[in-house]
Structure 1
């Protein structure tokens, strides 16, 4: 049976300074698992070009790239994307404009903002952002993938509940305490990795709610975020510690 190791980027593989968590130890462990026979898959909310950057910078030799939390897949140089329904997306956009939250829009290859981001916000490695006053034309004429909503936790929760209660073709999921993504119903990191590897043994590593779908569909899962998570098989302080545990299991035939 094929073995697949699927892991998140922000907060899992890289820190807020865009550095590998665990440094050379993590890189060495990933390469060791790949040499054993694991396929390495990154699944992230970032756009695909940021996966390329990390892959090339650290020579990870990743096998597959799953971006925008499962909505966009690069498999054997063929790009597949699951897009927002245009009519529903336009309706949601009108609702989001009534909130005092920051709203961003992703297409397959670009981010659209109303204003520049706070300098402390994690930056893209390749800047694909565009400043646009109104997203309606982008939604109408481009391949829109998801909305990213950023703000205070309690306000984010209200938006999440409203979206999930009033719209049938999308799902709103928390990606951190201060961020929410709205994307097509049925899309998740877990569903996408199983779609790519239907007869494989999947092991996953992540740090937030949008990784839980991977945990539920994995043989083993490792939570490396704040506190603890009962969705995961194990809770560890970092991806490096999780990788050491996986390697130890392989060496012991587990």
Structure 2
């Protein structure tokens, strides 16, 4: 039975500048899977962006946790968990000071027959007949996002995370950590062999459900105060896990 699970955040963790994956990290993931282990992606991205990345590097994940846990797909792209933003949340966004927001992006709900769309706020207001699964507020800098996150949390009923210079909004009860726990239960995995790696605050929930958590040297200092080992890349984390778990 496959018992070891490694969960990888994308942006800032596995994916670096120019949407590239380092060769060392790529080889480490492929070796991990060839050894009979499970590999899962956990990201705030929508499906189309992740699909392009996986095809580019000839990678296949055993499951995809997308939109910060609002959507989980299995290896064949079948939906195994999905939840959408409450309709009133979009109205509540109007109560936020959007003058400091560079861009408001809304992701339409995923289905295998209807491609997802990424809508900007202005176009959404004109055509609001969409089911929304994720919202992102983009700010010029991470500091500005940090200054505004408490205001966003107070204004909305859904889940709010800061991810560098973005504030991500996910449906209630959704997080990467909850999504991992869902998969662990579904697959009846050994709870002592679950490793995760991430570099931002939307990854902290993953740390809470893992037996071994990692963060990156370049992550914000506050991330280094979490209960996670600091490594330079995904390859180093995978190598440490393999040595610890004897394979």
In the superposition, the TM-score normalised over structure 2's length comes to 0.83
Matched residue SS, 1:145 = strand
Look up the match of 1:165. 154
Gap runs ≥5 in structure 2:
110-115
Matched residue SS, 1:17 = helix
1:49 aligns with 2:56: no
The answer as to whether partners of 1:188 and 1:210 remain within 8 angstroms in 2 is yes
User: What is the CA distance between 1:104 and its match in structure 2?
Assistant: 1.3
In 2, distance between residues paired with 1:91 and 1:70? Answer: 21
The answer as to whether partners of 2:106 and 2:120 remain within 8 angstroms in 1 is yes
The aligned length equals 228
Residues 205-226 of structure 1: per-residue CA shift (max 9 Å, x gap): 1111111100111000110142
Structure 2 vs 1, CA of residues 113 and 154 (structure 1 numbering), >3 Å: closer, same or farther? same
User: What is the CA distance between 1:240 and its match in structure 2?
Assistant: 1.8
Look up the match of 1:104. 105
In 1, distance between residues paired with 2:196 and 2:98? Answer: 37
Matched residue SS, 1:83 = coil
Gap runs ≥5 in structure 1:
115-132
- Higher deviation after alignment, 97-106 or 232-241: 97-106
In 1, distance between residues paired with 2:171 and 2:11? Answer: 22
Look up the match of 2:88. 87
The answer as to whether partners of 1:65 and 1:74 remain within 8 angstroms in 2 is yes
In 2, distance between residues paired with 1:249 and 1:8? Answer: 21
1:243 aligns with 2:238: yes
Look up the match of 1:71. 70
Residues 135-173 of structure 1: per-residue CA shift (max 9 Å, x gap): 2355x42120122111134442343212322433x0211
Look up the match of 1:119. none
Which of 224, 228, 231 is the equivalent residue of 1:229?
224
User: What is the CA distance between 1:245 and its match in structure 2?
Assistant: 1.2
In 1, distance between residues paired with 2:211 and 2:108? Answer: 32
- Higher deviation after alignment, 57-66 or 207-216: 57-66
User: What is the CA distance between 1:230 and its match in structure 2?
Assistant: 2.5
User: What is the CA distance between 1:9 and its match in structure 2?
Assistant: 0.8
